[in-house]
Amino acid sequence: MFEELLQYSDVGFLILRLAVAVIFIYHALPKLKNAKGMSQAMGMPAGMIFMLGGIEFLSSLGMIFGIYVQIVAFLLAMVMVGAIYLKIATWRVPFGAMDKMGWEFDLILLAVNVFILMNGGGSIGIQ
């Protein structure tokens, strides 16, 4: 229907990568700054929280600069699989909740990263 827009698909991939990166950086910084406090809230060791924040932050840089995009998309997808598992199995969070974030947000981030993993990140970036 809008075939003329297909010539801008690399721009679309860049926008998608940047959106993913901003979200993951936003969620990585508290883990890197206060791993001990986050570990108490999440019920995980502080070292694991710090490592998770590092993976999120470094993968986000890969998304921004277009470096190893499919690898970082895979890593971020695995982070989201873990997040969804924790929310469903451990914390008993429903799909959607008015009083807290359900796992619907995690599911869309998983889907976006799987999409990038399967389709690449476009040609804009350091490569």
pLDDT at 97: 76
What is the chain's mean pLDDT, rounded? 95
pTM: 0.94
Residue type (1 letter), 126: I
Cα–Cα distance for residue pair 32/50, rounded to 1 Å: 5
- pLDDT tens digits, one per residue of 28-40: 999 999 999 999 9
Candidate from 8-17, 54-63, 86-95 with smallest mean pLDDT: 86-95
Please report how many Cα atoms fall inside a 13 Å half-sphere around the Cα of residue 25, on the Cβ side: 12
Domain regions of the chain by residue span: 10-119
pLDDT of residue 127: 67
| CB 91 within 8 Å of CB 101 | no
Q: Can you tell me the distance from the alpha carbon of 35 to that of 44, in angstroms, rounded to the nearest whole number?
A: 10
pLDDT digits (tens, 9 = 90+) for 75-85: 999 999 999 99
Our CA dihedral for 59, 63, 64, 65, rounded to 10 degrees, sits at 100
